[in-house]
């Protein structure tokens, strides 16, 4: 059975890309570390590294173990921290979400908890809904924030009053920027950038209807900030949420909402049938209180 200690050794080698450097960082001998790694490979029945002259390279099996080992170590460390601080409000509060206007409320709650209880460490993890659901299920997240309709039968959840409104970010000097709203016909022939999650879920199929096959989708993105740079440099048009436009680009880019209007509900979710730490319970209590103040 793999030990946490050995997984930490493995991740140190992955980070340093060199067994000797990793051994120095871990304060153990290079032969001892090499033996631990060799034993791990024998235990798994797979080669994890290709050992080069100056640095090691991960095999596909090594890449897989690296991602899973990180999750295992994070979960172990988080569990230990929460147990050690069970008598006081402390430990880790980890929330995963995509980019959304709703994060202002959630970050305010997290910030207030951190201010009142300095022993609490807050962590924000970015990613799409599928990735966040996976991390929530394997225990590396306490909470996830979902944008859009999603099956919530396996979760407890709180609906946030804010909504995300879809629209198009474009250059100020584009002809389409003269419009106050954007219709499907307006987008015909234009180079479109769409979020990977929206692309995978066919989010705009109903909105643009039979014009869908004529849409010129030239790329996808996961982070709006990076996509904005492409909009600015390539005259592309990015379909994204309102309020995500980087303030530094306000003079170069503009947002126009879709017509007919297209919005997404926002939901904070956590696992059912799980024992919540005190800090998790506090987060839920304060988030509920913020909703009651509206």
* Per-residue model confidence as pLDDT tens digits over 224-274: 888 898 998 888 999 999 888 765 556 789 999 999 999 999 999 999 988
User: Structurally, what CATH architecture does the domain formed by 90-162+265-292 represent?
Assistant: 3-Layer(aba) Sandwich (3.40)
Contacts of 206 (CB under 8 A, 6+ apart): none
pLDDT band for position 1 (cuts 50, 70, 90): low
Class of the 4-73 domain?
Answer: mainly alpha
In this prediction, residues 107-122 reach a mean pLDDT of: 88
In this prediction, residues 42-51 reach a mean pLDDT of: 85
**For residue 77, is pLDDT > 80?**
no
Long-range contacts of the stretch 30-37 (C-beta < 8 A, 24+) = 33/9, 36/6, 36/9, 37/9, 37/10, 37/13
**For residue 66, is pLDDT > 60?**
yes
CATH of 163-263 given 3.90.79.10, 3.20.20.80, 3.40.190.290, 3.40.50.620? 3.40.190.290
How many residues are present in the chain? Answer: 294
**For residue 193, is pLDDT > 90?**
yes
State residue 95's pLDDT score: 94
State residue 85's pLDDT score: 53
pLDDT band for position 278 (cuts 50, 70, 90): confident
Integer CA distances (angstroms), 175 to 68, 190, 276, in order: 48, 11, 52
Mean pLDDT for all residues in the chain: 87
> What is the residue extent of each domain of the chain?
4-73, 90-162+265-292, 163-263
For 152, list phi and psi in degrees, rounded to 5.
Answer: -110, 15
Radius of gyration of the chain (CA): 23
**For residue 14, is pLDDT > 60?**
yes
Do domains 90-162+265-292 and 163-263 share one topology? The answer is yes
pLDDT band for position 84 (cuts 50, 70, 90): low
């Amino acid at each position: 059975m793999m030990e946490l200690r050995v997984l930490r050794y493995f991740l140190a080698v992955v980070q340093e890309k060199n067994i000797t450097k990793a051994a120095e960082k871990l304060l153990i001998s290079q032969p001892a570390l090499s033996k631990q790694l060799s034993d791990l490979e024998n235990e798994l029945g797979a080669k994890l590294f290709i050992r080069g002259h100056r640095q090691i390279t991960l095999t596909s099996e090594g890449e897989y173990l690296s991602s899973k080992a990180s999750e295992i170590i994070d979960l172990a460390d988080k569990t230990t921290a929460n147990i050690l601080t069970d008598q006081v409000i402390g430990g880790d509060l980890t929330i995963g979400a995509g980019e959304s206007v709703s994060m202002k409320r959630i970050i305010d709650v997290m910030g207030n908890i951190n201010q009142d209880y300095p022993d609490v460490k807050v962590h924000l993890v970015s990613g799409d809904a599928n990735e966040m659901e996976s991390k929530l299920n394997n225990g590396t997240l306490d909470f996830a924030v979902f944008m859009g309709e999603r099956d919530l039968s396996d979760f407890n959840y709180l609906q946030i009053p804010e909504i995300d409104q879809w629209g198009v970010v474009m250059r100020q000097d584009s002809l389409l920027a003269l419009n106050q709203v954007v219709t499907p016909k307006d987008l015909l022939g234009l180079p479109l950038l769409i979020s990977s999650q929206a692309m995978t879920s066919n989010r705009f199929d109903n909105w643009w209807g039979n014009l869908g096959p004529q849409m010129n989708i030239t790329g996808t993105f996961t982070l709006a900030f990076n996509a904005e740079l492409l909009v600015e440099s390539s005259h592309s048009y990015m379909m994204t949420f309102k309020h995500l436009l980087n303030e530094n680009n306000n003079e170069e880019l503009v947002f126009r909402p879709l017509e007919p209007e297209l919005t997404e509900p926002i939901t904070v979710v956590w696992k059912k049938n799980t024992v919540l730490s005190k800090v998790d319970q506090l987060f839920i209590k304060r988030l509920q209180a913020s909703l009651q103040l509206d």
